[in-house]
Structure 1
Amino acid sequence: MTADATAPSVFGAVHLGYVVIETNRFADWRRFGTDAIGMHHDDLSSDLMRFRLDDQECRFILRKGPAEDVVALGWHIDDHTSFEHIEARIRAHGVPVTRGSQEQAALRGVERLLRFPGPKGITQEIYTTPVRAEQPLRMLASGFVTGDSGMGHVALTSTKPAQIRGYFNTVFDARLTDYIDETISGAKLKIRFLRVNERHHSIAVAAVCGLPIDPIRTRVQHLNIQAASLDDVAQSYQRVHELGFDMALSVGQHTNDKELSYYARTPSGFEWEVGWNPIVIDENTWEPTTHQGISIWGHLPVGQTIVDKLGQFRAGARSLARTEDTVAALSGDGVPDA
C-alpha cells in the first residue's frame, strides 16, 4: 500500500533537516567536519557534538556509540497540518510512533519532534520550527545551500529498492526523478532518485541488478551537502587531501542532476559528497528518464586497492545471511519501476 491518493499531498513541505551519526571517533570527526569540510562545530559534552551549515542550530549530531554509521534522519515539515497528515499516515498503517522528549528536541534544535522506524534501521524523525542559532557561524566554507531544497541528500544501497521507494512514497509523497544504470567493479547497478521538494533528490537508492546482495557495510552509502561556491568545493577538496583523509572519488560531474562534486571517506567509513550547482526540478515539465553512467566526466576511484574490493565482496556475501528491514507496513508491495 502506498500513499492514499485522496489524502492531501505533503510533497514540497518536506526537507531533509539534520542527520544523526553514532561514532566513537570524535577527534577524527571533529577534524574532518571542521578542518576538512569546513563546517561550524559545537562541542556539547564528551559524548555529543554538532555541526552547522547555516543559521539553523543543528544540521549534524554526533553521539558516542559503536555503530560508526547514520542512525537517524530528521525531516523539517513546513507546517503543523502537513506534520499531522504524516503522523496520521504512519499511525493508520499500524507503525509505532514516539514523541521526542524535550531533551531530544533541544539537542536537535527543533520543536514538535516525532520519531518512527525507517528502512535499514535508520530512525526517521519529523519536526517543525527549527531553532535559529544565536551565535554567528565560524567555518572555513563561505556557505552551504539549504533552504527550500533541504540540506542535501542521503544515498542507500538496498536489496529491496522498490520497497524503500514505496516507504518514502507512503510517508512523504516522494516522486521518482530518474534512474541511473551503472557498472562498478563488474556489478550492474540501478540507482533510483527520489525527491520530496525542488531538490533533484533527497534519497537515492542503489541496488545490484539480479542479485539480492548489499555490498556496503554501513546503512548509508553517502551523505551529500551542497557548497555555496565552486571555490568552496575546490578548497575543501584540497583540505581533505592535505589533512590525510581518504578520497573515495575525484572531482566530477553527474549525468542526471549535473552537480559537480567529489566524495571523501568519513572517519566512520561511509562517504561524504560535497557538491555544487545541481539542477532544480521544474514540476511542470519534468519527466523521469534513465541515464547511462553516474558521471559525465571525473568521479574516478582514488586509491582503491584489491583489499578494498575484497572487503566489498565480503560485505555482499554477509548480506545474504541477513534480512533487510524495509518497514513492510509502510512500504507495502513497493513501487514497481516504470
Structure 2
Amino acid sequence: MNAAPGASVFGAVHLGYIVVETDRFADWRRFGADAIGMHHDDLSHDLMRFRMDDQECRFLLRRGPAEDVVAIGWHIDDHTAFERIEHRIRAHGVPLVEGAEEEAALRGVERLLRFPGPKGITQEIYTTPVTSAEPLNMLASGWVTGEAGMGHVAITSAKPTLMRGYFATVFDARLTDCIDETISGVRLKIRFLRVNERHHSIAIAAVRGLPIDPVRTRVQHLNIQTASLDDLARSYERVHELGFDMALSVGRHTNDKELSYYARTPSGFEWEVGWNPIVIDETTWQPTTHQGISTWGHLPVGQTIVDKLDQFRLGARSLAHAEKTVPALSGAGIADD
C-alpha cells in the first residue's frame, strides 16, 4: 500500500549526517578528532569521516574549494514516512535524484535520495544507516544522537519565511520558539524549528528589517551534544590548547537551556558543542519569544572592530546576490512571527 501523502512525518525525521567540502584536511582532522573528540577515519587523500556512535558516518569531508556545508542527510524512520516525503517533493515538481551506490556507501547509508534545499544546501533522505562494529576511538565518552538526531544546523537567511515554509512542507517542522536579539545595533530574529523531540534541528536567523545575510558560509553553525558535562569542559580546554579560534565562550541559552560553547571550524563556520538541552513535551509545549540568546555567558572571544566591520561588508555583499530558495517547496501562508 502506498503511503498517504498528506499524513504527517513529524517525529520520524532525525538529523543524520553532514557533508562538508574543504581543502583543509589536516586542520579538520585536528579539529574534529583532537579538539572536539570524535572518532576519525581517513578513507583516501580526498575523503575523511567522523563518527560519534555506531553509525559509520556522521560527518563526511570531501576535498574541494567550498569550505562549507554542501549537504545535510536526514534519517527517516521507516519506508512509509520516506515515501510520504518523496511523494511531496515530486508532487511539487521538484527533481529528486537517487544517490549512486558509492555515494551512499561514503555516507554510511544503504540508499539515499537527494533534492534541492535552501541556500544551495542539498538535502538528502535515507532510511537505513550502516552501522560499524569497529570500536570508537575518541576522546569524548559519548554523544547524544538517537531519537533526537545528532544535533542541529543554524542558517542565516534574508528570506526566513521561505526557509521556514520549506522545512514545514518537506518535514512538517514545527515552530518551537523565537529569540529577539540585538547585536552591535543589529536586530536579529531567530526561529527554532523541531522535527522530533529535540528542541530544534534547524535554527533560522534573520536581520530584522534588512534583507541581508551577514555570514559568508551557507550555515552559521552546527551543533552536537555531549553525553556529559565533563566532555563539554574537556573539549573546551582542548580547543584552546590546540590553538583553534573560540567564537563564543561557555554560556547557557534562554530557550533550550543548553550549556554550550562555540568554536570556529577550519572552514570558517562555527561549531557548537552543547550539553543537556531540554526535551520537548508535545502535549504541553507552546511557542514563545525570548529576549536575548543567552541567560549568561556566550561572550564573543577575541572579536575586534575589524571583525564587526567585516560582517557588515559581507551583509552588503549579500544584497548583490540573490539567496537560493526552492519556491515550489517553500509553502504559502506561513506567518512571519
Regarding TM over 0.5, the answer is yes
Aligned to 2:18: 19
Distance in 2 between residues matched to 1:87 and 1:212, nearest whole Å: 32
Amino acid at match of 2:216: R
Residues 156-211 of structure 1, C-alpha deviations (whole Å, 9 max, x = no match): 00000010000000000000000000011210000000000000000000000000
Distance in 1 between residues matched to 2:332 and 2:221, nearest whole Å: 26
| Dislocated runs of 4+, deviation >6 Å | none
**With structure 2 as the length reference, what TM-score do the two structures score?**
0.98
Residues 6, 47 of structure 1: CA spacing in aligned structure 2 closer, same or farther, 3 A cutoff?
A: closer
Distance in 2 between residues matched to 1:185 and 1:216, nearest whole Å: 15
SS in 2 for 1:19: strand
Q: What's the CA shift for 1:309?
A: 1.1
**With structure 1 as the length reference, what TM-score do the two structures score?**
0.98
Say if 1:167 and 1:334, in contact at 8 Å, map to a contact too. Answer: no
SS in 2 for 1:111: coil
Distance in 1 between residues matched to 2:208 and 2:332, nearest whole Å: 18
Distance in 2 between residues matched to 1:133 and 1:18, nearest whole Å: 15
- In the alignment, is residue 303 of structure 1 matched against residue 299 of structure 2? no
Aligned to 2:51: 52
Q: Percent identity?
A: 82
Say if 2:143 and 2:225, in contact at 8 Å, map to a contact too. Answer: yes
Aligned to 1:181: 180
Say if 1:163 and 1:334, in contact at 8 Å, map to a contact too. Answer: no
Residues 334, 246 of structure 1: CA spacing in aligned structure 2 closer, same or farther, 3 A cutoff?
A: farther
- In the alignment, is residue 122 of structure 1 matched against residue 112 of structure 2? no
> What are the residue-to-residue correspondences of 1:169-208 with 2, within 5 Å?
169-208=168-207
Distance in 2 between residues matched to 1:315 and 1:146, nearest whole Å: 34
Q: What's the CA shift for 1:6?
A: 7.8
Aligned to 2:160: 161
Say if 2:5 and 2:87, in contact at 8 Å, map to a contact too. Answer: no
Say if 2:5 and 2:85, in contact at 8 Å, map to a contact too. Answer: no
Distance in 2 between residues matched to 1:120 and 1:74, nearest whole Å: 15
Distance in 1 between residues matched to 2:331 and 2:250, nearest whole Å: 38
Q: What's the CA shift for 1:134?
A: 2.1
- In the alignment, is residue 137 of structure 1 matched against residue 111 of structure 2? no
Distance in 2 between residues matched to 1:314 and 1:105, nearest whole Å: 39
- In the alignment, is residue 64 of structure 1 matched against residue 78 of structure 2? no
Aligned to 1:243: 242
Q: What's the CA shift for 1:337?
A: 2.7
SS in 1 for 2:134: coil
Distance in 1 between residues matched to 2:238 and 2:333, nearest whole Å: 42
Residues 87-137 of structure 1, C-alpha deviations (whole Å, 9 max, x = no match): 000000000000011101100111220000000000000001101112110
Say if 1:162 and 1:334, in contact at 8 Å, map to a contact too. Answer: no
Residues 234-267 of structure 1, C-alpha deviations (whole Å, 9 max, x = no match): 0000000000000000000000000000000000
Amino acid at match of 2:29: R
> What are the residue-to-residue correspondences of 1:37-48 with 2, within 5 Å?
37-48=36-47
SS in 2 for 1:245: coil
SS in 2 for 1:8: coil
Aligned to 1:82: 81
Residues 220-241 of structure 1, C-alpha deviations (whole Å, 9 max, x = no match): 0000000000000000000000
Q: What's the CA shift for 1:334?
A: 5.7
Distance in 1 between residues matched to 2:58 and 2:95, nearest whole Å: 25
Distance in 1 between residues matched to 2:51 and 2:120, nearest whole Å: 25
